Chains A and B, each alone.
Chain A
Amino acid sequence: MRRDLFPFAAVVGQEDLKTSLMLCAVNPAVGGVLIRGEKGTAKSTLVRALADILPELETAADCAFSCDPARPQEWCERCRERAAANRRVKKRRPILTLPLNATEDRVTGSLDFEEAVRSGRRVVSPGLLAAAHRGILYVDEVNLLDDHLVDIILDAAASGENRLEREGLSFRHPARFMLIGTMNPEEGELRPQFLDRFGLSVAVNAEPDEKLRVELMLRREEFDLDPAAFQRRYADETAALRLKLSEAGERLPLVEFPKRLRKFVAELAMGSHAAGHRADLFMEQAALAMAALEGALEATEAQVMAVAPLVLAHRRREAAPPPPPPPPPEEDKEKENEKQAPEEPEKAAENPEEAAPPPEKSRDEERENASPPETGDNQDEGGPEQSGAPEDNHVQIGETFRVKSIQAAKDRLRRRGSGRRSRSRVSQKQGRYVKSGPDRGGGDLALDATLRAAAPYQLSRPRTAGLAVTLTPADIREKEREKRLGNFLFFTVDASGSMGARGRMAASKGAIMSLLLDAYQKRDRVALISFRRGEASLNLPLTASIDLAGKLLAELPVGGRTPLSAGLSRTWLELRNALTKNPLARPIVVLITDGRSNVALGEGKPLDEALRLASVMGRDERIKYIVVDTEEPGAVTFGLASQLAAALSAAYFKINDLKADALVNIVKGNLEK
């Protein structure tokens, strides 16, 4: 056993996770585990420890693809050629780590450079997918894995084989593997189709029991002081586990799944509205494995029930589209919140009820607010709204939620920067080395690809003194790098008095907060512009500090009239500045407004002026606009924001439309915590 492995048996608690991993060890058809949970909960420790207790499998000796002697139709070329002479050996089921920064050639396999130089033959150097065949592919922080690698894995997982068509190689080999991934949901979610590939999912949390926490501390400290002694102390338990798993593995083919249980399984899957039939299949396989582990020869209801939560947790879908949230109660309890608001943004985010204030406002005032904005034409002092809200108010942040994916369109421009919102080719020598391409003169040499291109011709080329490899200009390959770049996100917020009414600002702040959380995950840079009273102000210049934006948002006061034009023109100014500094940037503007305007910059009608400005701004194709309409659905609506959106050629959302489709309702408690 490797010195630095913490024994599986010595991990305190995390029973669900241990069970899931053991099910996978017994039955590869279980389909792997996705481990979701907070940091520091022995996620990686357990997976690594699993390597030590996995059962063995039988394979042809010296086969790089772990060919299964029992399945001759899948054998690799070499195994087929020497079928008669194949010696069978046993080896432990492999567990391969896929690092986040892996390059494509190592995942799929590529030309064996050394062999090509030596003999001039094109031979495959197998990649991780080959090595993981019949075993486990383990990705730590799987939600941070680059999309192009995810695609390769999905492709192989779907077809059960890996097809290699590159560098003059055409090759295929079986690649049936289980995926084990860990992730921390605060860093973003997985794509649904990737999520679906995991047979089981487990949410891990810290141990709440003091006694167990103490035990855990003691064991960890003992291990760190003398790993070898610690491993010896648990050697018996480790051996017993190993035996249990290998016996269960041998028993598995004999375990039966009674017919009556099939119906039960189907009902369970339907009951939680799981998409597709994978849930049923995985549930059956997991129950079989459970039975095998428990020494039974027939699966029972109890075993199905035991594995059902693991299979269904990440597949559960909402039965129907979520019911529309209750209409926001009227009037903010602004006064009470005034003091707390800046201090407790997170608290407000957790308790939407608190942010949604009790109804108080009179019928009259409501009608006043609902009166068409054009009434604000009398531009001088004393509009009706102003008298209603003479002073600045602070409003808490309302309910937050996961937002829809918002991206700038992908193009072929090369950019510099970092982040993970929009995908782009990048020009600097940074970013993930995705693949190699022909020489563009950029100086970013893809050494491996260049060598592979040159390798097969080495025997026929004249030798350069002292060098084993002779390169010609035609061999040169450059690195193609790609990464997601953070965008510039401009939040332009209507902070006028009308927004303060009836919890609209709380809801809007909730929406902005949600977008900010998303911006954090995508590593965007954000700016905050607000307009109220007679003017627009830049509350926060472009910054990477999302925290600062969150703080300012909480403190953003509300009150006064609605100078929409001023807000637009200020945004335009900031946009132009940003684009001058950074011509390749693709800013995204999120305009939060109900579309009303009652203060103009010039002589015309405020609303017409705003629409005119908007149509000018909308012509710049580099900028993506999003209008979030804060007008509440009700008896009287004006649809002004949608007019504005049309003028801007913007995407138009109501606050509720911003919520990510609840396709997969993942362990909801975790998200809310």
Chain B
Amino acid sequence: MKKAGPIYPFPAIVGQERMKLALILNVINPGLSGVLIRGEKGTAKSTAVRALADILPEIYVVKDDPFQLSPDEELDWFTEIRASLGRVSGQERVSGEEIEREKRKVRVVELPVGATEDRVVGSLNLEEALKSGEKKVEPGLLAAAHRGILYVDEVNLLDDHVVDVLLDSAAMGVNAIEREGISFSHPARFTLVGTMNPEEGELRPQLLDRFGLCVNIEGISRPEDRVEVMERRAAFDHDPEAFSRRWAREAEGLAEQIEKARRLYPEAEIERESLFQIARYCLEVGVDGHRGDIIILKTAKTLAAFDGRARVSARDIETAAELALPHRVRRQPLMEMADNLETLRRKKQNAS
């Protein structure tokens, strides 16, 4: 994402609580694998995603590594990639201490709708090939997005074969390149954040399923809030830095809360009976596969952690289901997407 210009502070976004919550949850727990934001134009979708930069946590990466590998957890990959790039022999293992590491914020990488496949997966490095006569990999966007956030604006307009690529690497957490004379793979696990305007067409169900959460947003209807939106925007445009300073405390507060939640998450506990409730939810509405169950569990735990609790409440599960289920109910192409769980249940009741 371009660094051009100051960024609108995340807490200063008026309303759209659901969207903000879904984004925050994904920042706390990348395992939620992303959020799809559906809504009309001009509802602060893109602003919110860009504003995430404010509240993103920091991670350790191998210094200057184009593949964003973790020095603690991905040493086997590191060794393998180094070997296949011909820098060291495969036998030579590197230990954690030898590697230079750096701490930096989680990255948001933008995937433009018109991106070509080779830019996304990576390609042959022209310069190296001509200069040294060696095949080197030019890492693509998937490499840049590893352990970060991959943001696709208008994700429903994405070209089909790029969607295939996303599905491929999302399924395996690995980007396998077998093209243009190179054979190479690297880990590519990312949080997929997409925005779309449903009027422009729906997503393929398979891609839909890859988004952990989904929120529908609408324009704000209360006049006071609309005025607030305009005023804040005007203030920001007038003097972005002063505006950001004014919101700095809240942004910091939120970032701290997120950091705490990240630490608390592994300890969050859930009662066995609640797990059955989750399973029943999913069976009731009839979702494909098990991703729904798993995502609800993770979301509920993340909600509890965000709230500073180590115990998942019934409310957490309810909210988690509302975030994780609606887009999964659309099981096949051409099935209408249930707007929210309510209509869904009503349908169910009417049917029986």
Q: Are A216 and B293 in contact (CB under 8 A)?
A: yes
Q: Are B179 and A187 in contact (CB under 8 A)?
A: no
Q: Are B129 and A451 in contact (CB under 8 A)?
A: yes
Q: Is A224 an interface residue (CB 8 A)?
A: yes
Q: Are B201 and A544 in contact (CB under 8 A)?
A: yes
Q: Are A101 and B164 in contact (CB under 8 A)?
A: yes
- Given A40-B291, A206-B288: A551 and B177 interface contact (C-beta under 8 Å): no
From B20-28, B167-175, B243-251, give the one contacting chain A: B167-175
> By CB atoms of chain B within 10 A, which of A48, A544, A547 has the most?
A547
Q: Are A217 and B278 in contact (CB under 8 A)?
A: yes
| Chain A residues within 8 Å of B336, by CB | 345-346, 547, 551
Q: Which chain B residue has the least Cβ–Cβ distance from A547?
A: B202
Q: Is A361 an interface residue (CB 8 A)?
A: no
Kindly provide the distance from the CB of A40 to the nearest chain B CB, expressed in whole angstroms.
2
Q: Which chain B residue has the least Cβ–Cβ distance from A451?
A: B129
Q: Is A113 an interface residue (CB 8 A)?
A: yes
Q: Which chain B residue has the least Cβ–Cβ distance from A125?
A: B181
Q: Are A448 and B297 in contact (CB under 8 A)?
A: no
From A233-241, A250-258, A429-437, give the one contacting chain B: A429-437
Q: Is B117 an interface residue (CB 8 A)?
A: yes
| Chain A residues within 8 Å of B139, by CB | none
Q: Which chain A residue has the least Cβ–Cβ distance from B125?
A: A447
| Chain B residues within 8 Å of A352, by CB | none
Q: Are A44 and B179 in contact (CB under 8 A)?
A: no
| Chain B residues within 8 Å of A451, by CB | 129-130, 181
CA distance A668 to B80 in the complex (A): 44
Question: A483 contacts which of B161, B205, B276, B293 (Cβ < 8 Å)?
Answer: B161
| Chain A, 242-292, CB within 8 A of any chain B CB | none
| Chain B residues within 8 Å of A140, by CB | 168, 171-172
Q: Is A396 an interface residue (CB 8 A)?
A: no
From B53-61, B147-155, B213-221, B327-335, give the one contacting chain A: B327-335
Kindly provide the distance from the CB of B207 to the nearest chain A CB, expressed in whole angstroms.
10
Question: A101 contacts which of B134, B179, B206 (Cβ < 8 Å)?
Answer: B179
Residue-wise, chain A 83-118 has the 8 Å CB interface mask toward B (1 for contact) of: 000000000000001111111011100100110011
| Chain A residues within 8 Å of B276, by CB | 210, 214
Q: Is B194 an interface residue (CB 8 A)?
A: no
Kindly provide the distance from the CB of B47 to the nearest chain A CB, expressed in whole angstroms.
26
Q: Is A77 an interface residue (CB 8 A)?
A: no
CA distance A430 to B177 in the complex (A): 17
| Chain A residues within 8 Å of B266, by CB | 225
Question: B160 contacts which of A97, A107, A419, A546 (Cβ < 8 Å)?
Answer: A419
Kindly provide the distance from the CB of B278 to the nearest chain A CB, expressed in whole angstroms.
7
Question: B290 contacts which of A42, A345, A419, A544 (Cβ < 8 Å)?
Answer: A42
| Chain B residues within 8 Å of A106, by CB | 178-183
- Given A101-B117, A433-B180: A217 and B201 interface contact (C-beta under 8 Å): no
Interface size, chain A (Cβ < 8 Å): 83
| Chain A residues within 8 Å of B116, by CB | 429-430
| Chain B residues within 8 Å of A446, by CB | 180
Q: Are B76 and A3 in contact (CB under 8 A)?
A: yes
CA distance A345 to B165 in the complex (A): 32
- Given A40-B291, A105-B180, A107-B178: A100 and B165 interface contact (C-beta under 8 Å): yes
Q: Is A467 an interface residue (CB 8 A)?
A: yes
CA distance A173 to B207 in the complex (A): 38
- Given A2-B76, A4-B187: A213 and B177 interface contact (C-beta under 8 Å): no
Q: Which chain A residue has the least Cβ–Cβ distance from B201?
A: A545
Q: Are B164 and A141 in contact (CB under 8 A)?
A: yes
CA distance A33 to B193 in the complex (A): 34
| Chain B residues within 8 Å of A471, by CB | 130
Kindly provide the distance from the CB of A320 to the nearest chain B CB, expressed in whole angstroms.
30
Q: Which chain A residue has the least Cβ–Cβ distance from B189?
A: A4
Q: Are B334 and A546 in contact (CB under 8 A)?
A: yes
Q: Is B126 an interface residue (CB 8 A)?
A: yes
| Chain B residues within 8 Å of A40, by CB | 209, 288-292
From B91-99, B253-261, B279-287, give the one contacting chain A: B279-287
Question: A39 contacts which of B124, B202, B206, B298 (Cβ < 8 Å)?
Answer: B206
Q: Which chain A residue has the least Cβ–Cβ distance from B333?
A: A520
| Chain B, 290-305, CB within 8 A of any chain A CB | 290-294, 297-298, 301
Q: Which chain B residue has the least Cβ–Cβ distance from A420?
A: B160
| Chain A residues within 8 Å of B209, by CB | 39-40
CA distance A141 to B167 in the complex (A): 9
Kindly provide the distance from the CB of B269 to the nearest chain A CB, expressed in whole angstroms.
11
Question: A207 contacts which of B278, B290, B291, B335 (Cβ < 8 Å)?
Answer: B290
Kindly provide the distance from the CB of A101 to the nearest chain B CB, expressed in whole angstroms.
6
Q: Are B178 and A213 in contact (CB under 8 A)?
A: no
| Chain A residues within 8 Å of B288, by CB | 38-41, 206
| Chain A residues within 8 Å of B179, by CB | 101-103, 105-106, 433
| Chain A residues within 8 Å of B301, by CB | 221
CA distance A110 to B206 in the complex (A): 34
> By CB atoms of chain B within 10 A, which of A105, A117, A213, A521 has the most?
A213
Q: Which chain B residue has the least Cβ–Cβ distance from A224?
A: B31
| Chain A residues within 8 Å of B164, by CB | 100-101, 141, 144
CA distance A39 to B74 in the complex (A): 28
Question: A545 contacts which of B131, B135, B200, B206 (Cβ < 8 Å)?
Answer: B200
Q: Are A418 and B291 in contact (CB under 8 A)?
A: no
| Chain A, 15-60, CB within 8 A of any chain B CB | 38-42, 44, 48
Q: Are A217 and B294 in contact (CB under 8 A)?
A: yes
| Chain A residues within 8 Å of B331, by CB | 38
| Chain A residues within 8 Å of B229, by CB | none
- Given A458-B133, A547-B201: A41 and B289 interface contact (C-beta under 8 Å): yes
Q: Is A646 an interface residue (CB 8 A)?
A: no
Q: Is B121 an interface residue (CB 8 A)?
A: yes
Kindly provide the distance from the CB of A496 to the nearest chain B CB, expressed in whole angstroms.
26
CA distance A48 to B172 in the complex (A): 8
Question: B297 contacts which of A41, A117, A217, A467 (Cβ < 8 Å)?
Answer: A217
Q: Is B238 an interface residue (CB 8 A)?
A: no
Given contacts A429-B116, A547-B201, 4 further A-B contacts (CB under 8 A): A128-B183, A210-B279, A418-B161, A431-B161
Could you tell me which B residues sit within 8 Å of A by CB distance?
31, 73-74, 76, 116-118, 121, 123-124, 126, 129-135, 159-161, 164-165, 167-168, 171-174, 176-183, 185, 187, 199-202, 204-206, 209, 266, 272, 275-276, 278-280, 282-283, 287-294, 297-298, 301, 331-336
8 contacts between A and B (CB under 8 A): A38-B289, A42-B290, A101-B168, A114-B133, A419-B160, A432-B117, A447-B124, A544-B201
4 smallest CB-CB distances across A and B, nearest first, come from A40-B289, A468-B133, A40-B291, A117-B133
